[in-house]
């Protein structure tokens, strides 16, 4: 089989290699991978290591869909032929976060090897059934981007019809947040630096598009009669959190998801205290929430937005697509 790996930090060290197909051990299933979805995190891991203790050679990427082709001894969750997707934080099944100050959770394509391979032998507990309503490329986009938005808005946020949701930008998490919020009856606001992307966001169901280079906080208060936003998906991070604190409604919620503007967040304390704001860090989500999301995708008929699809041997081109700031997800068709 073929797989992508790198033995040192940097895109120039990526290589497509031939290795034996693994055999599933007890408790594992062998999956023939159909498609892999890339995240900005994958780009960071390849280019900088993202501060993770990688063991080389390292296989990148975390989000995949495939079919079970054989099972190891003692397995019971899946049968041959089942279509499955990976759980990004495989040891987090349900409940509170399993991270501590001294031990962060192990993730696929991070501490744990990734999925850019034609076959994978994985513990069956690391997988969930794929949604029936999505094709392979679409299904591969769920484990990080969709689950992050779902976990923020639904699992922790308790989103209700009629509430307001603001998503920043038009990447994978933002567009899933837009679609989930719209499907659940919320009023959706989107910020972007691109007029074209704002128009496309409106076509997906957003109610308001706001240019990022204008005073978007003032625009939000103008559109909400000064009330602000109930749920904000904070994609930028860094000092941008301060602007979200100004834009959020009283007793509202800010879900901190991205680090595009830095790994340390900052903002004024007055709106945080006076508005009784909840600022919630989001580390994707657990397996049970992913299973809930899969059922919701089929029930609500959510359709992931795919910016571009690439052949398995075209990983460099797929990373270039990430560099350009895609509208939606970048997918690699492993099975061709």
Whether the link from the prior residue into 57 is cis, omega within 30° of 0, is yes
Residue 103 pLDDT? 55
Predicted confidence (pLDDT) per residue in 226-245, tens digit: 999 999 999 988 888 999 99
| Span 182-195, average pLDDT | 97
Write the pLDDT tens digit of every residue in 1-22: 999 999 999 999 999 999 999 9
Beta bridge partner(s), residue 167: 190, 233
Per-residue pLDDT, averaged over 130-156, amounts to 98
- Give me the sign of the Cα torsion angle 45, 155, 123, 38: negative
User: What is the distance between the alpha carbons of residues 152 and 155, in angstroms, rounded to a whole number?
Assistant: 6
The alpha carbon dihedral of 83, 94, 245, 42 has a sign of negative
d(CA 203, CA 35): 27
> Which pair of structure tokens corresponds to residue 70?
């054989």
Q: Is the distance from CB of 136 to CB of 35 less than 8 angstroms?
A: yes
Task: Say yes or no to pLDDT of 114 above 60.
Answer: yes
For each of the domains in the chain, give its residue range(s) and CATH number, in order of start.
Answer: 2-143+285-333 (3.90.180.10), 157-281 (3.40.50.720)
Residue 265: pLDDT band (50, 70, 90) is confident
pLDDT score recorded for residue 32: 98
Strand stretches in the chain, DSSP E: 2-6, 14-18, 28-38, 63-71, 83-86, 119-123, 127-129, 164-168, 187-192, 208-211, 229-234, 248-256, 278-281, 306-311, 329-333
Residue 217 has pLDDT above 70, yes or no: yes
Q: Is pLDDT at 248 greater than 90 in this prediction? A: yes
Q: What is the pLDDT of residue 193?
A: 92
Across the chain, what does the average pLDDT equal? 95
Please give the pLDDT value at position 102: 52
- Supply the pTM of this predicted model: 0.95
């Amino acid at each position: 089989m073929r797989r992508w790996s790198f033995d040192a930090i940097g895109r120039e060290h990526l290589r497509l290699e031939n290795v034996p197909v693994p055999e599933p051990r007890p408790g594992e299933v062998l999956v023939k991978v159909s498609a892999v979805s890339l995240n900005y995190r994958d780009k960071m891991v390849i280019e900088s290591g993202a501060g993770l203790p990688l063991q080389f050679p390292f296989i990148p990427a975390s989000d995949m869909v495939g079919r079970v082709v054989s099972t190891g001894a003692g397995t019971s969750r899946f049968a041959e032929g089942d279509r499955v997707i990976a759980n990004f934080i495989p040891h987090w099944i349900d409940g509170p976060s399993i991270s501590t100050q001294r031990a962060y959770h192990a993730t696929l394509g991070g501490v744990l090897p990734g999925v850019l391979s034609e076959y994978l032998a994985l513990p069956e507990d690391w997988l969930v059934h794929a949604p029936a309503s999505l094709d392979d490329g679409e299904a591969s986009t769920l484990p990080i981007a969709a689950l992050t938005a779902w976990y923020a808005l639904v699992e922790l946020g308790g989103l209700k019809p009629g509430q307001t949701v603001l998503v920043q930008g038009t990447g994978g998490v933002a567009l899933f947040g837009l679609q989930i919020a719209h499907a659940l009856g919320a009023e959706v606001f989107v910020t972007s630096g691109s007029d074209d992307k704002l128009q496309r966001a409106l076509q997906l169901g957003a109610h308001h598009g706001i240019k990022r280079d204008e005073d978007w906080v003032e625009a939000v208060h103008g559109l909400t009669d000064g009330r602000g936003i109930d749920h904000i998906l904070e994609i930028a991070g860094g000092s941008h959190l301060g602007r979200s604190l100004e834009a959020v409604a009283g007793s509202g919620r800010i879900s901190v998801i991205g680090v595009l503007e830095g790994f340390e967040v900052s903002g004024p304390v007055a709106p945080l205290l006076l508005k009784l704001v909840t600022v919630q860090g989001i580390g994707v989500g657990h397996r049970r929430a992913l299973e809930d999301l899969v059922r919701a995708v089929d029930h609500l008929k959510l359709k992931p937005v795919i910016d571009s699809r690439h052949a398995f041997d075209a990983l460099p081109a797929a990373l270039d697509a990430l560099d350009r700031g895609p509208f939606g997800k970048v997918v690699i068709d492993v099975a061709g």
